[in-house]
Amino acid sequence: MPVRLYNTLTQKVEELAPLTPGKVKMYVCGLTTYDLAHAGHARTNTTFDVLSRFLRARGYEVTYCRNVTDVDDNIVKRARENGEEPLALSKRMSDLADADLAAIGCAKPDIEPRVSTSMADIIAFVEKLIAKDHAYVAETPDGKDVYFAVRSFPAYGKLSRRNLEELRAGASERLAEGAADVKRDPLDFALWKASGKDPFGFDSPWGKGRPGWHIECSAMASRHLGEHLDIHAGGMDLVFPHHENEIAQSEAVTGPEFSKVWMHGGFLEIDKEKMSKSLGNFVTIRDLLERNDPEAFRYYVLGTHYRGPLSFDVDKRPDGRVVFSGVDEAERRTDYLYSTRDALAAIAGDAAPADSNVLQGQAKVIDEAREGVLEALDRDLNTPQALSVLAELGKAANEIVMQAPKLKKDPAKHEAVRGLAAKAIRALAAACAPMGLMQAEPDAYWARTRARRLRQRGLDAAAIDAKVAARAEARKAKDFTKADALRKELAELGVEIFDAGDASTWKIGL
């Protein structure tokens, strides 16, 4: 089945046809690193991490490039407020963002250029635009700026479907409210801005200054991936003006098409409102990971199609805890996957299932799971459908676990079901891999979720161990009234007890 992706440029779902068969060049707009990475960044990066994993699983050789914007007015402003150097602030924040994205399972891109180390490429790109009469130099009180002449590119607006005259009217109104402008046309946008008395700037043929936001991505993408890309991606908010301007300045130099496919992820909302600092509903990745496991967040993101809005519903519990109810449910499902894997491991055998007549329906689900996930992702990265396939695999796996004890009296069938359990473990890993799920070792997953849940509830593991041990003694002494009372006491604390013969284990629920 061919890979089909929605192309914002054509507004259609199209079959992926890379410039070079079997190879995909993908550029994703990265973070502007002046603050902690937030939930919107997490969603966007998770989406395109899954795209990269999936394309590789389908056999493509993927070159994934994601930039770091470490030169920007917001960085300069925040650095000044903090009393630190702009590049030092940016490095600190990008290191934190790297750690946060790694925590939610996003693999590092193959190439990660920084604006500060790409200045020669940016300047060369601007010079090409000037030479082709698509850009001009303007004198300002601070020095020389360079602007892109929008009307020199007749196809401007083709990505966002915006009318040039309407854009010009809006731009004129904004200019009238500000200081006198040096641009030839209100639509023109900056490729290079003089830094004036600001000490943070870079030498150029036009004097000291800083590049415009849009030219940075055009220069870095073409430097590392070539003049034409297969996929260019980012959040929905980048369609205009950022990606529209990228197309204009890139194709003005190299001709069409800068990118064959343009992909954009939907907005993230908090209680049905778009997340923003001004609304006071700004949630960082670190906020999320204080409340939930990183895999749970990933599962939650994948439960909504990447082009649709994703809403976080915030609830306040009686004990004062603030929780994201949807992510809590995703964590229960993640627990279920790891519990299923543990249960399979407890019965799995070494041999392949010899008896093909044992649990045929479940065996079929296991055999088809990975391809079912990939076929769902073939359809414009349909992660909700892929999770449905995973749920069916989990159901089949648990049916195997339940049937295993019933077949002990028939050694051949019991051995076959043990082999099927081993096969199910491999199928679970293979089906999860394209989505970046179940990447932790089970023991590591349970250890980190236990530690976080204990901390959230203010509980002590040693105290719980003591109560579980006391309950075990009560069971041994056949004091079931005491044993039941201790179980109830622990349940009220959110502690679940699991008995297996004389042994008992415990987990913290949500």
pLDDT per residue as tens digits for the range 141-156: 999 999 999 999 999 9
175, pLDDT greater than 60: no
- pLDDT of 280: 60
The residue extents of the domains of the chain are: 4-265, 327-435, 459-508
What pLDDT is stored for residue 325 in this prediction?
Answer: 83
Residue 466 corresponds to which tokens in the numbers above?
């003591």
Average pLDDT of the chain is 92
What does the pLDDT look like over 423-439, one tens digit per residue? Answer: 999 999 999 999 999 99
User: What 3-state class would DSSP assign to 465?
Assistant: helix
Instruction: For residue 489, give both structure tokens.
Output: 């006491």
Maximum CA extent, the chain? 91
Mean pLDDT along residues 225-245: 98
Whether the predicted pLDDT of 219 surpasses 60: yes
Q: Tell me the mean pLDDT in the region 164-180.
A: 58
pLDDT band at 312 (very low <50, low <70, confident <90, very high): confident
Nearest alpha-carbon partner for 184 in 221, 136, 224, 140: 136
CA distance to 219, 231, 260, per residue, from 249 (Å): 10, 17, 16
Greater confidence (37 vs 172) lies with 37
Q: What is the architecture, at CATH level 2, of domain 327-435? A: Up-down Bundle (1.20)
Write down the CATH number for the domain with range 4-265.
3.40.50.620
Closest-CA residue to 55 (of 304, 383, 378): 378
Contacts 24+ apart (CB under 8 A), 70-73: 70/33, 70/94, 70/114, 70/115, 70/116, 71/115, 71/116, 71/202, 71/210, 71/211, 71/216, 72/32, 72/34, 72/115, 72/213, 73/210
Q: For 63-75, what is the mean pLDDT?
A: 98
| pLDDT at residue 174 tops 60 | no
> What's the rounded Cα separation, in Å, for the pair 4 and 346?
40
pLDDT band at 455 (very low <50, low <70, confident <90, very high): very high
pLDDT at position 409 over 90: no
At 313-349, the pLDDT tens digits run: 777 666 666 678 899 999 999 999 999 999 999 999 8
pLDDT, residue 412, reads 84
Please tell me the least confidently modeled range out of 155-169, 178-192, 204-218, 420-434.
178-192
